[in-house]
Amino acid sequence: MEKLEGKVAIVTGGAMGNGLGIVKVFLRHKAQVVILDYSEELENTINNLQEEYSSEAVTGYQVDIRESEKIKSICDEVYSKYGHIDILVNNAGVARLETFENMSDEIRDFHFDINIKGTWNVTKAVVPYMKKNNSSSIVNLSSVTGPMVADSGEVAYATTKAALIGFTKGLAMELVDQKIRVNAIMPGYIHTPMVDGIAKDTDASNPEKVIEGIASGIPMKRLGTIEELGELAAFLASDESSYITGQGIVIDGGSTLPETMSVGV
């Protein structure tokens, strides 16, 4: 029996990048996955995944997680369809680099509204259903940026990712008696389309060189894969991690180890 067999998982931001890696691994471990994503790419992602697995294995809703009433309605529908919600992965998030002095209130609030309030909205909609289970798991995607390291231009992003660690710990204490575990993943550089975009913006003529430069600052000399991140999420979502709650788990290839150089995302 696979570790997530019989489990229903909601994954936000699962249409691409880290979220897609999590969804693919969850499906391999036999979870029933529901993707919530704002991206137009969602339909293509679901079609591709249904071809690889089955039409019953994965479904999705195009929704903005800032819209709390729509999120609640969707979670009600998911529960009515499956009869239980066992796992929530709060992966959806945004990053817009700008210095503190130059950042507009609109871009600041864009980070806060999606990365913090959006996570709050989905969690609040799901928790009442998780309380009906014998065991449930919430996994929040934080980052090494904010809690551990930061670069210039990351003040808003770092603030929100640090906040998610506090959210994880506070919620873990409140829900432990309900047999709901709450943990966070803190990635370093994972090779996603976002990283490819940053590399292209940095050097359009040779983005591969930018990726190589990033990798050179990581002790393992490479970026992580979305599947590696997915396997960590699957572990935290499964009963294999039944004695772990309120923790932030770093997956960064050792990038935060050196005293003389740090690499943040």
Q: Which two tokens stand for residue 228?
A: 């590696």
What element of type H or E holds 71?
helix 68-82
Please give the single-letter amino acid code of residue 203. D
Please give the single-letter amino acid code of residue 227. E
Per the listing, tokens 């259903």 go with: 129
User: Are 233 and 169 in contact, with CB atoms under 8 Å apart?
Assistant: no
Rounded Cα gap, residues 190 and 177, in angstroms? 34
User: Are 71 and 63 in contact, with CB atoms under 8 Å apart?
Assistant: yes
* Interacting residues of 156 by C-beta distance below 8 A, sequence separation 6+: 96, 98, 103, 107, 108, 111, 112
| Torsion, Cα of 118, 251, 135, 179 (10° steps) | -80
* Interacting residues of 59 by C-beta distance below 8 A, sequence separation 6+: 33, 34, 35, 46
**129 among known catalytic residues:** no
Rounded Cα gap, residues 224 and 77, in angstroms? 35
Give the active site residue among 61, 79, 157, 189: 157
Q: Which of 225, 198, 218, 229 is nearest to 262 (CA)?
A: 218
Q: Return the active site residues.
A: 157
